[in-house]
Structure 1
């Protein structure tokens, strides 16, 4: 069964994005687990058992994060859908975040 982690970097500050609430959801939107980024911008454990093959989404509360900094943003949330195709693999979903843009890739 697969494990999952995430990392959020604030592209404006050039630093880890600390305190970002992150949810793991099923393809249908059911919340399966959650976490908050640590001082290094990482969620190492979503509090869920290993993931079976299937489709999932990671949802980042980007609007709340920028609100704590007093920064307006265009994206109140960022949702990244992904597919677990190898139940034995580790999946890492990173996010490079700014108030008016974001990018992601399959991490390791």
Structure 2
């Protein structure tokens, strides 16, 4: 069975992003259905898969990373409004048996993502 994991790295400080809130939504057309809310641990990961086996279904999803709250808490926030506040990543998962990993590499003025392993 497939499942989804994520993690967040603070590339400006060179450390995992601890305490960052993440929401996961299932997306269908213009409809979003919230599935879960999690907080990253000391390793910048969620304590369990954000979408575990048994709840996984192929389809379109969106992760929303609350980067602004993390940047404020870590002393990296610039002037308001922040350049990056909430970072949405919309992606598709087609293989019902695959492990999908969608990490976020974050700094106050930029981010990147990729399909990890």
TM-score, normalization: structure 1?
A: 0.91
Q: Which of 60, 71, 74 is the equivalent residue of 1:55?
A: 60
TM-score, normalization: structure 2?
A: 0.85
* Residue ranges of structure 2 left out of the alignment (5+ in a row): none
Q: Which of 46, 49, 68 is the equivalent residue of 2:50?
A: 46
Question: How many pairs were matched up?
Answer: 108
Superposition RMSD in Å: 1.5
Larger Rg over CA atoms = 2
Cα deviation 1:1-46 (Å, max 9, x = unaligned): 4211101000110010000001110112221112111111012333
User: 1:8·1:95 contact (CA, 8 Å) conserved in 2?
Assistant: yes
Q: Does 1:88 align with 2:97?
A: yes
Aligned to 1:36: 39
Question: How far does residue 50 in structure 1 lie from its aligned partner after superposition?
Answer: 2.6
